Chains A and B, each alone.
Chain A
Amino acid sequence: MFKLRHAKAAGALGTVFLFVFLAFALLVFSEDVPRPEALLFGGILILLILLAYCILLIAAPHADKLLMLAVFFLSALGMVLQYRLSSETALRQLMMFSAGLVTMFVMLLFMRSPRFFRFMSIPMGVISIGILVALLFIGKESGGAKNWISIGGILFQPSEFVKVALVFILADAMSDHTHLNELIPMFLFVGIVTVLLVLQRDLGAAMLMIGSFLLVFFAATSNIRATVTAILIGAVGAFASYHLFDHVQARVAIWQDPWATYSTSGYQIAQGLMAMASGGLWGLGLGQGSPKSIPAYHTDYVFAVICEEFGILFAIAVIVLYLLLVVRGILIALNAKDRFSMLTAFGASALLGMQTFVIIGGVIKLIPLTGITMPFVSYGGSSMIACMALVGILQGVAGRSGAAVDAELLAMETEDEEDRGSELPDAENEGDDL
């Protein structure tokens, strides 16, 4: 029987485990006093990944295992870096990774019946705008952006959850309508969200929303003229923001010449560039660099830490891994069984791809730096949970489409068996009689 074959992933999973084991074994001796607890931490991480992988195999046999492995490797790399920088933040990150895995499985289960998310898209849109408006008044400022909120003593970043909501809202709006007039409420929503994010000085999230919206809009409508018009409107908006807001001007000025303001605002970019240069092609070695000289080394600038300690070649391989993750996401979207699932999967892939591009592009000074996290690697609970939710969406869509193809193949095979039993003997008998 021709049964849909899914790539065997045990060998690649073993590579993740080997990487985790070797890295944490090395970290035991990275400081003056040996830290045997590093091995315990690595062991817990391995067990957690193994458990999540087994649950995935049971809960969704047709889920995309290769995508999951890429996520595991990136998360493991993030955990190694966090532990190298601070064992306390690493422990918190491990807890957030566990919470992220739970979120992923919840999303995966809900995606089995996407009608729920279609029904919830309007409430999600209203709640998203409500939270972003509330942030303008009650939000806490951190890193120059007023985009944090504290509930019960726990700080979280609502824009991370708004971006997950955006995926469903865009997919719902564009799965039934492709005519521009019918999409006006969606345009308004994206516009309002972007303005609110710019007002909060959360430029990274604003860039992310606009970029993902454009990608999903083009994928859904294939309307080049409308997409180019939307890009031009976005460019006009960016130009207006530059002239209206001081913090936007400051970001662009730092990007253009960080060395001019090295001792003040350009310090972070300049330190990041120096760290990457000192790492060279091969890196200085795990625990051998000075990442703590870069502000936000464990969040926004974690890519510079990778370059410094693991080398530029390793960092390029990490970028390839992200590319692979996005490509697999797009393939999941292309094989989706319905338009809503296709657009949600494409939106999730576009968001992950855009987020990676915006932060790595900012760190290497390709584009102005905006404060967002590197998916799965940077320290940050909200980001980790939101990214894992996006992975859950992708796995849910992959699981449904894979199961559907296998069911069709099985039905075809059953029909074949019936045919063989009835027709061929008749034909042969007729031949013999003649």
Chain B
Amino acid sequence: MGEAYDIIAALMRYVFLLLLLYFVVTLIIRSVSEYRYLKQAQRILQLSIRYIEILSPERYKGIIFRLSEKNTLGTAEDADIRLFRSMLKPHHARIDLQKGEYRFSTKKKRHCEINGQPVIRKWTALADRDTVWVEDVCFVCRKNKTEVEEDV
């Protein structure tokens, strides 16, 4: 009985160590994951824009769009931000929520500017009060709806 216990206790040392290591690694991985998620939530609450207000063309001026997680800008029927009478293509550009911030992307970068600067990157982060020109369409990014309503 004594010898059998010695052997089992010696083997169990490794089992206990493995259990603790698994436990610690699991906690670390989940901590990092939870931390990232919390930061994303805080970024959404604190940093991201939530509205765009159309400034041009004249016929759409003052219209406010609430951004959802993925937004297509264009003339197509299924476009989230549909500007029917404009020079836009059916699915001209995208404004998507990525890592807690809204980012703009278009394949047709030739007549596209953000704050007067040409769009170079595939995805460009948008901030409050950024002005975006796409063909003949101009819109401004807004954080708060109340501010938008007051301005309009």
Task: Indicate if the CB atoms of A416 and B66 lie closer than 8 Å.
Answer: yes
Instruction: State whether A286 touches B24 (Cβ < 8 A).
Output: no
Q: Is B49 an interface residue (CB 8 A)?
A: no
Report if A317-B13 is in contact (Cβ < 8 Å); known contacts: A5-B37, A285-B6, A426-B63. no
The answer to whether A405 touches B27 (Cβ under 8 A) is: no
Q: How far is the CA of A314 from the CA of B1 in the complex (A)?
A: 26
* Cβ-based interface call for B82 (8 A): yes
Residue of B nearest to A427 (CB): B63
Q: Tell whether, in the assembled complex, residue B66 and residue A419 are in contact, meaning their CB atoms are under 8 Å apart.
A: yes
In the assembled complex, how far is the CB of residue A264 from the closest CB belonging to chain B, in whole angstroms? 34
* A16, B24: Cα distance in complex, Å: 11
> B38's contact among A4, A311, A434, by CB below 8 Å, is which?
A4
B89: shortest Cβ distance to chain A, in Å? 15
Whether A420 and B66, one on each chain, are in contact in the complex, defined by CB atoms closer than 8 angstroms, is: yes
- What chain A residues lie within 8 Å of B145 (beta carbons)? 415, 419
> Do B26 and A434 have beta carbons less than 8 Å apart?
no
Chain B contact residues: helix, strand, loop or mixed: helix
**Cβ-based interface call for A339 (8 A):** no
> For the complex, is B41 an interface residue (Cβ under 8 Å from A)?
yes
* Residue pair B27, A66 in contact (C-beta under 8 Å): yes
Residue of B whose beta carbon sits closest to that of A310: B16
Do B17 and A73 touch (CB < 8 A)?
no
Question: Which residue in A9, A18, A419, A428 is a CB contact (below 8 Å) of B19?
Answer: A18
Q: Looking across the interface, which residue of chain B has its beta carbon closest to that of A411?
A: B45
| Interface segment out of the listed B28-36, B108-116, B125-133 | B28-36
Q: Is A321 an interface residue (CB 8 A)?
A: yes
Task: Give the CA-CA distance A319 to B1 in the complex, in Å.
Answer: 34
Contact A285/B12 with A66-B34, A424-B65, A434-B84 known, Cβ cut-off 8 Å: yes
A4-B41, A405-B45, A434-B84 known; A15+B9 contact, CB < 8 A:
no
Across the interface, which residues of B come within 8 angstroms of A415, CB to CB? 145
Q: Decide if B22 touches A15 in the complex (CB within 8 Å).
A: yes
Bound together, the chains give a CA A412 to CA B33 distance in angstroms of 23
For residue A420, give the distance in angstroms from its CB to the closest CB of chain B. 6
Contacts of B17 in A (CB 8 A): 282, 310-311, 313-314, 317
Q: Please state if A22 and B84 are interface contacts (CB–CB under 8 Å).
A: no
Q: Which residues of A contact B35 (CB under 8 A)?
A: 331
Closest to A8 in B: B30
Q: What DSSP secondary structure best describes chain A's contact surface?
A: helix
Q: Residues of B contacting A432 with CB < 8 Å?
A: 84
- Chain A, Cβ-Cβ closest to B29: A7
Q: Which residue of A lies closest to B1 (CB)?
A: A29
Q: Which residues of B contact A69 (CB under 8 A)?
A: 23, 27
Output the least CB separation between A61 and chain B (Å): 14
* Most chain B CB inside 10 Å of its own CB: which residue of A2, A8, A18, A282: A2
Interface positions of B from 54 to 71, Cβ below 8 Å from A: 59-60, 63-66, 68
The interface size bin for chain A is 35 or more
Cα A96 to Cα B50 in complex, Å, equals: 52
- Rounded to whole Å, the gap between the CB of A158 and the closest CB of chain B is 33
Minimal Cβ-Cβ distance residue in A for B17: A314
Which of B26, B27, B45, B80 is the one whose CB lies under 8 Å from A408? B45
Q: How far is the CB of B132 from chain A (nearest CB, A)?
A: 17
- CA gap between A284 and B13 in the complex, in Å: 8
Tell which of B16, B24, B65 touches A324, judged by Cβ atoms closer than 8 Å. Answer: B24
Does A335 lie within 8 Å of B38, measured CB to CB?
Answer: yes
**A2: B residues at CB distance < 8 A:** 40-41, 44
Q: Assess the A26–B26 pair: CB atoms within 8 A.
A: no
B83 at the interface (CB under 8 A from A): yes
A277 is an interface residue with CB less than 8 A from chain B: no
| Residues on the A chain within 8 Å of B66, using CB | 416, 419-420, 423-424
Query: Which chain A positions have C-beta within 8 A of B14?
Result: 282
For residue A115, CB closer than 8 A to chain B, the reply is no
- Judged by a CB distance under 8 angstroms, whether B21 is at the interface is yes
- Partner of A321 from B10, B15, B24 at Cβ < 8 Å: B24
A419 / chain B contacts, CB cutoff of 8 Å? 66, 145
Given contacts A282-B13, A287-B9, contact A19 B19 (CB under 8 A): yes
Q: B residues bordering A, Cβ < 8 Å?
A: 1-2, 4-6, 8-10, 12-17, 19-24, 26-28, 30-31, 33-35, 37-38, 40-42, 44-45, 50, 59-60, 63-66, 68, 80-85, 145
Q: Which 3 A/B pairs are nearest by Cβ-Cβ distance?
A: A285-B9, A431-B84, A419-B66
10 new A-B contacts, CB < 8 A, other than A66-B30, A328-B31, A434-B84, are: A66-B34, A73-B23, A286-B9, A288-B6, A314-B13, A405-B41, A412-B45, A420-B66, A423-B63, A424-B80
